[in-house]
Structure 1
């Protein structure tokens, strides 16, 4: 069986150890010959990398391991780039969340103004990574799960239309795992139909491997409990703020009682509720910095100090499994069904054919092939068209350096109450993003 070479872009991420653990756990079906970490923050990456170096020597000594800040070293002779970058790191995420809250507007990492600000930072970073990949390993595939995925995917469509980039999100995977627990099924045996934009969609069908319709049972459960379950069924999305989000799905369902909602819709359908239940001085970014950030880096330092990863604090991230599934589907042409963010091309029949939509795809060696989801109802279509227009304006604003288009993008977001408020948020964001955004005129 062929062995593969991988570079993880964003090597200093708190998610990198979980991904490496998942790769080690799947060497039998996805063998590795080389694993490299790449990050432009060498100091941050080194803490994680030194611990992973010990882990790799103890568990897979035959796999060549390295880490670097040199893009040529990182991207030469690689088959897959797994990208999860965060331009500006958590310091900028905190501002993404807290600046909108000054005006009682949703402060969230990927939705509303925060997502737009993050998107404006991510586009340049992603285009740089793609250039590195295509320069040094032109046959490489990039599996991108950097946020905000919708804006990044739209930028790829416009600026890198021929690039071998697949944009994918772990949120539907986590929700599907919860669905499986609710109905007592292995999520991998469940066949779904789904339509939307990333962090903005609905399940229209869920069946088991025998074709039994699971939607009635799921709709009944979610109408009472949301996606909240009585035990942890995933390693991600378990903090109290996430539990509130899972619970809120019951209210989302009331607006589309025939479809199961993506949990992120709460930011668009109940923005006043979100603001009322958010501490403007202590947002999700603070929770992550105080929790996951300290835990992962603490575990890394402990492994280095002990000189062994045995009994160490790194664990497999359940959410990382979909990344290995995606790589296997491409490498071995399995045509596995997965939710990917792809150009619509008629998959949603009554929606813009060039829109980057999130739908079930069959994934093989040529990449994802979207499956037809038919027509969608007016309510969802209207919401999606507004959100799509906002995301496209963000990309146009980045390309053109247009203040007006970014103001329009913020104004169109369903989370923002008026153009006046949008302008105040934009001006505040410009002040703190001068190092990351293009100059706006």
Structure 2
């Protein structure tokens, strides 16, 4: 039996992590072919990553055929899994998403606020086109999306493309579980967090270790300064009052919404001292690709973990393994609500623990939203729907509504000023507008 994986955005610096994940799981998930796909602008990186991936596979001695190409439609033929890790406009676009809002006095971040909106506006049309190709060329394939903003993008694909075998993944629940295991001095496999909410807006409601409730202990430690943030987010800590009042485990992205003034001040200072996070990543990627060029390098370098999205690929590989083997294990994914959170629409995408089967994720019912954050989650879901609508219609008023209803922007005059600046900055990647 053959298993073919196509990696869209194959020239990404994250790709060695996917290759490593496939190699490590080959005993249970025996992939026979991997095709790395990129666009002309990424051809040089694709060649470098392809050569490293080839060396990694050769060292592993696994019977995996590897190739790389710019011909997406040819690559998709007979694919079983298609992973997506693209950045429309590259790091230059990300830098604009971060710098321009900061210049106007708003949070500048690649997946939240105005930057996240514009990342979605650029990305959704491109991935809708990919989903149509998948549906026509390899309708049996599962699309595993870890292109951000993952929840919004996944909902757009499930609602507006003919292809319904789409699952979104994020490294934040993974990060939270591993960090929680660290502070409880146990192994991550022993930890289960009950998640409730949306991508980058998900809370941990309960924490269990081997079935025993450790929520109180974890919340106490978080209020004492636990740092469980990824590399791209500097943790500011949480007050005891906030943790006790909400009785929820926040994720690292919540600081943008509940510590906005402090984050804005910190980010403005970082901009002056080091440039945008995109510019920091550009320097990091330059050094990573120099490492990748080394003909003696046959493994994923440790330095890759300095990227904020490290471990995304590991999450994706675990998900594909579970689908292929019908494992019925529990993983946290972005998928259709289907009543798991009764207050949200059935066809909205939430981030939720799900039983992973050969037919995809079956979300586990988590029940009513906590009163402490119910209003926020309603607003965020309505905002996400506005972003999706704007990305498809290309109507100015739809984009404006998305901006003004985002809790990190809100101001009706400021929203228009910021919208106009970002539309002009990204016009080459927004043909729908």
Q: TM-score range by the shorter chain?
A: over 0.9
Give CA-to-partner distance per residue, 1:142-171, whole Å, 9 cap, x none. 111110112202211321265211111111
1:408/1:289 CA distance change after superposition, 3 Å: same
Does residue 287 of the first structure (1) align with residue 293 of the second (2)? no
Does residue 424 of the first structure (1) align with residue 423 of the second (2)? no
Does residue 9 of the first structure (1) align with residue 38 of the second (2)? no
TM-score, scaled to structure 1: 0.90
3-state DSSP class of the match of 2:83? strand
Does residue 73 of the first structure (1) align with residue 66 of the second (2)? no
Contact residue 132 and residue 162 of structure 2 kept, 8 A: no
RMSD: 2.0
Return the offset for 1:319. Answer: 4.4
3-state DSSP class of the match of 2:205? strand
1:296 is matched with which residue?
Answer: 288
Higher mean displacement: 415-424 or 351-360:
351-360
3-state DSSP class of the match of 2:216? helix
TM-score, scaled to structure 2: 0.92
1:251/1:80 CA distance change after superposition, 3 Å: farther
Does residue 309 of the first structure (1) align with residue 303 of the second (2)? no
Higher mean displacement: 314-323 or 416-425:
314-323
Does residue 196 of the first structure (1) align with residue 201 of the second (2)? no
Contact residue 177 and residue 192 of structure 2 kept, 8 A: no
2:340 is matched with which residue?
Answer: 347
1:61/1:413 CA distance change after superposition, 3 Å: same
Higher mean displacement: 188-197 or 104-113:
188-197
**Following the alignment from structure 2 to structure 1, what is the Cα–Cα distance between the partners of residues 241 and 323?**
35
Alignment of 1:110-129 (within 5 A): 110-129=111-130
**Following the alignment from structure 1 to structure 2, what is the Cα–Cα distance between the partners of residues 280 and 108?**
12
**Following the alignment from structure 2 to structure 1, what is the Cα–Cα distance between the partners of residues 36 and 291?**
18
Alignment of 1:224-239 (within 5 A): 224-228=224-228, 237-238=230-231
1:412/1:22 CA distance change after superposition, 3 Å: same
The match for 2:262 among 273, 282, 303 is 273
1:253/1:34 CA distance change after superposition, 3 Å: farther
Does residue 434 of the first structure (1) align with residue 427 of the second (2)? yes
Contact residue 158 and residue 166 of structure 2 kept, 8 A: no
Alignment of 1:91-170 (within 5 A): 91-160=92-161, 162-170=163-171
1:263 is matched with which residue?
Answer: 252
Unpaired runs of 5+ in structure 1? 229-235
**Following the alignment from structure 2 to structure 1, what is the Cα–Cα distance between the partners of residues 312 and 27?**
19
The match for 1:331 among 311, 324, 332 is 324
3-state DSSP class of the match of 2:13? coil
1:417/1:251 CA distance change after superposition, 3 Å: farther
Give CA-to-partner distance per residue, 1:61-85, whole Å, 9 cap, x none. 6211100000122111221111111
Higher mean displacement: 41-50 or 197-206:
41-50
Unpaired runs of 5+ in structure 2? none
Higher mean displacement: 279-288 or 420-429:
279-288
**Following the alignment from structure 2 to structure 1, what is the Cα–Cα distance between the partners of residues 93 and 349?**
26
1:16/1:411 CA distance change after superposition, 3 Å: same
**Following the alignment from structure 1 to structure 2, what is the Cα–Cα distance between the partners of residues 156 and 398?**
12
3-state DSSP class of the match of 1:128? helix
**Number of residue equivalences:** 422
Give CA-to-partner distance per residue, 1:295-331, whole Å, 9 cap, x none. 321112122xxxx334784778644322121011110
**Following the alignment from structure 1 to structure 2, what is the Cα–Cα distance between the partners of residues 331 and 36?**
18
Does residue 222 of the first structure (1) align with residue 222 of the second (2)? yes
